[in-house]
Amino acid sequence: MAIKITEECINCGACEPECPNNAIYEGGVEWAIADGTTIKGSFVLMDGSTVDADQRFEPLSVDTYYISPNKCTECQGFHEEPQCAAVCPVDCCVPDEMYQETVEELLAKKDKMHI
């Protein structure tokens, strides 16, 4: 399951540099699959659509930091726990119930992003 940042976020930015997948963005900033990954060319998003890895997407939040579920692996394959949640001073990095993924699926996503 991906991690999400709730409205309790105080925009401290502690989470962003901790993400090994560069899945965390400041509110209002567009995101791309290629940001901080080794992906080139086309990539299949969680909804099944295929996009260019460099394609920029609208921010998922304009007011607070946010996590792209297409890039979040809950730090599987990197750390024992999600690092955003570990460093968040207000505990606003929580599991996103909209994105149910197994550990195997998360590890496969990680392997696709970091060749």
Identify the pLDDT of residue 1.
73
Picking from 65, 114, 70, 73, the residue whose alpha carbon sits closest to that of residue 93 is 65
Q: Tens digit of pLDDT for each residue in 2-36?
A: 899 999 999 999 999 999 999 999 999 999 999 99
Identify the pLDDT of residue 115.
77
Domains in the chain, number? 1
**What whole-number distance in Å separates Cα of residue 95 and Cα of residue 28?**
22
Give the DSSP H/E element, type plus range, for residue 29.
Answer: none
We report the CATH number of the domain holding residue 100 as: 3.30.70.20
**What whole-number distance in Å separates Cα of residue 8 and Cα of residue 90?**
7
Q: What is the CA radius of gyration of the chain?
A: 13
Q: Side chain identity at 71, as an amino acid letter? A: K
Domain that holds residue 54: 3-114
Q: Tens digit of pLDDT for each residue in 90-99?
A: 999 999 999 9
